[in-house]
Amino acid sequence: MRIAIAQQNYHIGNFEANTAKIIDGIRQAKEQGAELVLFSELSVCGYPPRDFLEFDDFIKKCTAAVNKIKEYTEDIAVVIGAPERNPNQKGKDLFNAAYFLHQKQIMATVHKTCLPTYDVFDEYRYFEPAYNWNIIEFKGKKLALTICEDIWNLGDNPLYRICPMDELMKQNPDIMLNISASPFDYTHVEDRKAITKLNVAKYKLPMLYCNGVGSQTEIVFDGGSLVLDKEANLIAQLPLFEEAIQSFDWNEDGTFQQPIKIAAKHLPNEELNPIEFDCNLCIATVYEAIVMGIRDYFSKMGFQKAILGSSGGIDSAVALALACEALGSANVLAVLMPSQFSTTHSVSDAEVLSKNLGNPYNILPIRNIYESFLTELKPLFKDLPFSLAEENIQARTRGNLLMAIANKFGYILLNTSNKSELATGYGTLYGDMAGGISVLGDCYKTQVYALAKYINRNNEIIPEHIITKPPSAELRPEQKDSDSLPDYDVLDKLLYQYIERRQGPDEIIVQGFDAALVDRVLKMVNKNEYKRNQFCPIIRISPKAFGVGRRIPIVGKYLS
């Protein structure tokens, strides 16, 4: 049987566009001679639809789209994802469903069993778990169809009481099919290979795994759909960060006519869970994920042009380079806003960067504006010494200027704060923390440096001086980040243990970190939750990003 995988980029709630894309995917699959084509989880409405699922009109539009798509299935079977109403008054009103369409009919629906509520997922808020499990018979074959998380319930400590494939195996299926919306993080490309391999090894069946692609605000879906034969050899991985439709010929004996790409013994046997922080881990895919995150945020929101503050520092330099790659250099305006505390090389470095990238830039000194603030505040400030208040006035002045230009000319402000700063509260609310989307908010400072080196892999785009000079906010004379924060090489490793790995202070100290430093840093993290709660959406590239995937009380005493 020839089976196609349609790895597509959907737009949440854009039923007309999503339906047209799916119908075109069916057309392409037919042209490839496919008898069955798989589309990803909740493909009809886009994933994650979140509280849109609470609107009856939204569900009606999902149903209408399914009915329209089924008219194109006369001579091909199609699997699509969409919500389905639950006829039982008990439980949630909806199922997360896979529709099996053929001969212009809904031949079967499969309901998702394992509904994740961890990290960025909140599916049990909306969906009821499956009540029953049945294979689908098609052309004399028995298909075991599951949805995303349903194949992840393996190992010694499963999250769910029921494993759908265990139930389906009672009916002697011939093949496993899974439709997913599996988000990117820098471990997950390998994790998917491991989990599909584990399923094949357990059930002795080949598997086709269809993943979505594209960015939905902060969550990036990287594609990378997989095909494994019954021996767990990798037959194919579809491209990362690209749409693709590809067909595969499944043989009676559980093999494929396509050659083996990677033998089973060379695939990972377990999910990747790095114990130590590695700033260079998968940096090329991190780069691609952020570029896609920027590009899709703008295209799906109908925006065209971006603006950011270019300080001559590493964060704004990397953010600018990523934005130019995503949107085109002509569509990204850099604004240089030196104060009396800015070094001359900061301005010249920022100018060289924009010339290398070919993006427009302007220089708007803030000294006069800053001093006018001080003049007006003098009756209140009197002769109190220079402090954080004066520093923040500079940052908020820059934020005001950027937002004024953005409002006047229709730009969207890109935030350039990094994860190390956000974790420790090293930023100014309504100043350098302003923005419509955060480019680097899930990248630790050392990862930002790794991205800079990756950007410069072929030629020097980011001036070397920006990479080598000590980082500084330049809000007071001779200021350095190291005046307020531990060295980033140490800080980032410590933060990783607390944020990504959820290690407590004793567990971190035993790894060799100074006890006083651990206490200081963890207090900084927890005391600054109020700042992060007011921050813009962050493009997620790690297993635990700030934002929707990390839910910490603002008012709390733990470790603060």
Question: Which residues are designated catalytic?
Answer: 41, 112, 148
Residue 251 DSSP label: -
Short-list 57, 50, 183, 63, CA closest to 127: 50
**Residue 258: what are its φ and ψ, rounded to 5°?**
-70, 145
For tokens 């609470």, name the residue: 54
**Residues 6+ positions from 17 with CB-CB distance below 8 Å:** 10, 11
**What is the H or E stretch that residue 109 is in?**
strand 105-111
Chain centroid to Cα 266, Å, comes to: 27
Question: Which structure tokens are listed for 228?
Answer: 């494994």
Cα distances (angstroms) measured from residue 143 to each of 26, 163, 169: 19, 16, 10
Q: Which amino acid is at 111?
A: H
For tokens 């950027």, name the residue: 402
Q: Which amino acid is at 388?
A: L
Cα distances (angstroms) measured from residue 328 to each of 168, 336, 462: 49, 19, 16
Cα distances (angstroms) measured from residue 474 to each of 268, 362, 394, 432: 46, 19, 10, 12
Peptide bond into 206 cis (omega under 30): no
Count of other CB atoms within 10 angstroms of residue 169: 18
Short-list 42, 43, 25, CA closest to 34: 25
Question: Which structure tokens are listed for 81?
Answer: 């994802």
Beta bridge partners of 249: 2
**What is the H or E stretch that residue 85 is in?**
strand 77-85
Pairing verdict, β 36-38 and 2-7: parallel
Rounded to whole angstroms, how far apart are CA atoms 164 and 209? 15
CB 322, CB 291: distance < 8 Å? yes
Q: Helix 314-327 and helix 344-357: axis angle, to 10°?
A: 20
**Residues 6+ positions from 274 with CB-CB distance below 8 Å:** 187, 281
